[in-house]
Amino acid sequence: MNPTSRRTLLHKLAAATVASLLPRRTARAQTPRIFNPKHFGAIGDGQALDTAAIQRAIAAASQAHGGTVQITPGRYVIGTLLLKSNVTLELLDGATLLGSLNPADYQLVEPFTDGVGAARGCALIACVDAHNVAITGPAPTTNSASPIIDGRGADLHAAAPTNPAAKPFLFLSVRSTNLTLRNLALRSSAAWTMHLFQSSNVTVDNLSIRSLGLANNDGIDIDSSSHVRIANCTIETGDDAICLKTTSPTPCRDIAIERCTMTTACAAFKIGTETVGDLSNIRVRDCHVLRANLGAVKILSVDGAHVSNVRVENIRVDDADTPIFLRLGARGRSFRPGDATLPPGSISNIAIRNLTAQRARRIGILISGIPSHPIENVSLKDISITMVPDPSGTPITQTPPEPEEKPAAYPEVRMFGADLPASGLYARHVRGLTLNAVHITPIPGDPRPERLLSGNTPA
C-alpha cells in the first residue's frame, strides 16, 4: 500500500472510532425528555397556585424541541395553561389539576359570542397555533382511575357570576393540528368542556366527562374543524354531549364518532345550532344514549350552512324526548366580528340506520324544513321507537293543528308547542324521504295519526 492510501485508511478508521463514541442522534431523538413541574417550583398541595411553575415546564419542553411535562401525584391549582408544539402534558395516577376559583387567573384565548348570546373564549388549558400536542393519562387497568382535570365550574361561577372569565372552557384548541387527548377524567367545566376550533387531525379517546349544574356546559364541541375522531368516551352533561358546529365560515368535515355512551339534559349528538360554515362527511356509530332530555340525534342548519353526507347507525336510546330531529331554518346569525350573515342553507343526504329507542315522549321523529327550502334526501332504515306518556304533560285528547313555521326561531322541538299533529313521525318540507322498516309504537289511546307528511315532494 502506498503512503497516501495508508494515510487515507488511517483517517477513516480514526473517524469511525470517534463516531462510535458519540451519542447516536437517532437514539437521542427517540428518548423522551421528561420535565417535572416540581423542579420548576410547583407545589401540588391543592392550595398554592401552580400555573406559572407548570407553564415554565411547558416552556422548557418547547425550547428543547419537544418533551413530556409529567404531572406527578398531587393536587395542582391552575389558571390558564398554554400548551406548545411538540409537548405532551402527561398526568400520572393520583394527579389532579384543579381550576382556580379566581377569574383573574384565566386568559381570554379566542373571543366570540355563542348561539345563546354568551361571551366565550377563556380556557383552563389551551393551545393556539400549536402542533403535535397531547394530554394523556396512563392506560386504564382494572384497579386504576383516570387522572382528573376538574374545572370546579360551579364554584368559579359563583365567585363571579357576571364575569365571562368565570366561564372558561376546560380545554380549548385554536387552529392547532395533530392533537391527542386520551385516558382522562374531565370534571365540572364552567362552560363547554372541550372546544376544538379550526383544528385538524384530532384524536379523543377514552375520556370520562362529567359536567353538570351549569348552563351551556357541553361535553365535546367540534367547531369548524376537520379530521376529528371521538371514540370510547363516557359523557354526562347538563347540555349537549357531543356537538358539531361552525361559529366561523371554515367548514367542519370528516368527523367520526364511535362507541360513546351519553347522558344529557339536552342533546346526545347534535349538529348546530351555530351553523355558519358547511358541515359534511360525518359518521356516528355504535353509541348508547342513556338519556337525552331534548333529543338523541339532532341535525340542524339555521345560519346558512350546507349540511350534507351525514350517516348515523347502530344507536341505542334508552330515554329521549325526541329520538330524531332534523331542522332547516333561517335564523341567519353570525358569531365573530366581520362574518356576514347568510341566507338559508341546506340539509341533504342524511342516512340514519338501526336506531332503537325505548322511551320517547314528545314524538319519535320530527323533520321540518321551511317553505321554499326543503330538507333533501333523508333515508331512515331499521328504526324502532316506542312512545311513552310524558309524566309532566297532559293526556292528548284530540289532534292539534299543524304548528307555525317559525323560520327564525331557535331550533328546538319545543319551538312547535307542547303537542305535534302526529304521534310518531311528523315531516314537512322534505324532498326525497325514504322510510324502510320504520316502526313506531304509539301511546295507547293517542288520537293522533302515527305519521303525518306535510308539504313534501317525492325524490
Q: Three-state SS across 36-100?
A: CHHHHCCCCEEEEECHHHHHHHHHHHHHCCCEEEEECCEEEEECCEEECCCEEEEECCCEEEEEC
Q: Which CATH number fits domain 32-454: 3.40.50.720, 3.30.70.3040, 2.60.40.1190, 2.160.20.10?
A: 2.160.20.10
Cell 355563542, located at residue: 114
Which residues, in sequence order, are CB contacts of 18 under 8 Å at separation 6+? none
- The 8-class DSSP code of residue 386 comes to E
Q: Work out the burial of residue 292: count CB atoms within 10 Å of its CB; fewer than 13 is exposed, 13-18 middle, 19 or more buried.
A: buried
pLDDT computed for residue 22 by the predictor: 35
Side-chain half-sphere exposure of 229, counting CA atoms within 13 A: 11
Task: Give the pLDDT of residue 314.
Answer: 98
pLDDT at 143: 67
pLDDT tens for the chain, 459 residues long, are: 555 455 444 444 444 433 443 334 344 445 669 999 999 999 999 999 999 999 999 999 999 999 999 999 999 999 999 999 999 999 999 999 999 999 999 999 988 878 778 788 899 999 999 999 999 999 887 566 789 999 999 999 898 888 878 899 999 999 999 999 999 999 999 999 999 999 999 999 999 999 998 888 999 999 999 999 999 999 999 999 999 999 999 999 999 999 999 999 999 999 999 999 999 999 999 999 999 999 999 999 999 999 999 999 999 999 999 999 999 999 999 999 899 999 999 999 999 999 999 999 999 999 999 999 999 999 999 999 999 998 777 788 888 899 999 999 999 999 998 889 999 999 999 999 999 999 999 999 999 999 999 877 665
Would you tell me how many other CB atoms lie within 10 Å of the CB of residue 34? 14
Q: Give the number of other Cβ atoms within 10 Å of residue 161's Cβ.
A: 9
Q: How far apart are CA 121 and CA 5, in angstroms?
A: 70
CA distances from 452 to 18, 160, 313 (A): 84, 49, 24
Coil, strand, or helix at residue 344? coil
The span from the CA of 344 to the CA of 346, in Å, is: 7
Give 247's DSSP letter: S
- What per-residue confidence (pLDDT) applies to 165? 82
Q: Is the distance from CB of 90 to CB of 45 less than 8 angstroms?
A: no
Q: Measure the CA–CA gap between 454 and 153, rounded to whole angstroms.
A: 45
- Residue 191 makes CB contacts below 8 A (sequence gap 6+) with 120, 122, 153, 167, 168, 169, 214, 216, 217
The answer to whether the CB of 363 falls within 8 A of the CB of 423 is yes
Q: Which residue has the cell 344507536?
A: 315
pTM over 0.95: no
DSSP 91-150: EPTTEEEEE-S-GGG-EEEEEEE-TTS-EEEEEEEEEES-EEEEEE-PPP-TT----EEE
Bridge partners for 370 per DSSP? 373
pLDDT value of position 419: 87
| CA separation for the pair 331, 347 (Å, rounded) | 15
**3 state SS of 458:** coil
- Rounded to the nearest 10°, the torsion over CA 307, 411, 372, 245 is -20
What pLDDT does residue 2 have? Answer: 55
